[in-house]
Amino acid sequence: MQLHQLQYFVAVVDARHFTRAAAQVGVAQPSLSQQIRALEQSLGARLFHRTRGNIALTDAGETLLPIARRILADADTARREIRALDELRAGRVRLGATPSLCTGLLPPMVAAFRREHPGIELIIHEGGSRDLQTELSEGALDLALVIDSRLANDPVLETMPLFIEELVVVSPLGAPRPVRRSHINIQELQGRPLVMFRRGYDLRESTIAACRTAGFEPTLAIEGGEMDAVLEFVNAGMGLAVVPATVVRDRFRGTPIADPGLTRTVYLAQRRGMAQPRAAQALQDEIIRFLYETSATGQLPPGVHTA
């Protein structure tokens, strides 16, 4: 049983005439009749009573008719929905990102995509870079914005450096600067209470590594939070924290770190060798376009540089 045979069958039922039905579907009458006979043979039953100048459905034909109409309708729906996917009027993208990116640069990057493709469902999953790496490898995500540079050597993933973020020391906006100068040295964090991210968090590892390189162990006032919690603890006066410049905005005071400073590179990652859905490819293109245009017009946030 083939779709075009069902189409011819329904056309004959609607036209009540083989020749008129053949004209409606755009085939020669002998070809249509041959396909109806082939359909009857595959079903093992006659579908029409044929008399001179008239045709009528057999019991088998009456049984087949609503099923044939439903199959043809479902096939048409499938064609329309797949066409909508191809034309980016529908679809879904699963994007992973670290909490700091969700708080900082991600919203403006995806806002233009949502305006351009309102019919595409965009699912954002927050997580650490290593968790996102696992989810990408398992096919649970289409794309991810990750920090850990070691992912660039992952044989399962393809990575593309997108931009570099400067890290700053954040303190309450109404409090005095942690130092009187415009920049702070890492060594000047020694002995100061720090609000620290949870274990396994990219910023935690880079901050502790920078302190140890400077020859001291950091003093932790509180630890274990995600980005929003860390910022609120800082705002409550519990200590300083090292965060990306993009999350500071006008709610906090961000003090740049003196040369050579601290930075992190943000990568766009996807599973290697996997054909991306059209919607995911469109989002990737939009992220790259956003960074290119904002960089070219000088509109990238302070502390962000394209890679």
Chain center to CA of 210? 32
pLDDT of res. 150: 66
Q: Look at the domain 3-86 and name its fold.
A: Arc Repressor Mutant, subunit A (1.10.10)
Give the DSSP letter string of 13-37. HHHTSHHHHHHHHTS-HHHHHHHHH
CB atoms within 10 A of CB 92: 13
CATH number of the domain located at residue range(s) 91-164+265-306 in this protein: 3.40.190.10
**Structure tokens, 274:** 């996997």
Cα 243 from Cα 265, distance rounded (Å): 13
Cα 130 from Cα 266, distance rounded (Å): 13
Q: Look at the domain 165-263 and name its fold.
A: D-Maltodextrin-Binding Protein; domain 2 (3.40.190)
Largest CA distance in the chain: 104
User: Nearest to residue 195, comparing CAs of 161, 160, 170, 164?
Assistant: 170
pLDDT of 151 above 70: no
Pairing of strands 143-146, 157-172: unpaired
Is residue 150 within 8 Å of residue 212, measured between CB atoms?
no
- Mean local confidence (pLDDT), 24-49: 92
Pairing of strands 143-146, 91-97: parallel
Provide the whole-model pTM: 0.70
Asked if 3-86 and 91-164+265-306 have one fold, the answer is: no
Could you state, in order of their start, the residue ranges of all structural domains in the chain? Answer: 3-86, 91-164+265-306, 165-263
pLDDT of res. 152: 60
What's the pLDDT tens digit per position in 43-80? 999 999 887 767 889 999 999 999 999 998 888 777 77
- Mean local confidence (pLDDT), 203-223: 92
pLDDT of res. 134: 86
pLDDT of res. 96: 93
Tokens 């990306």 belong to 244
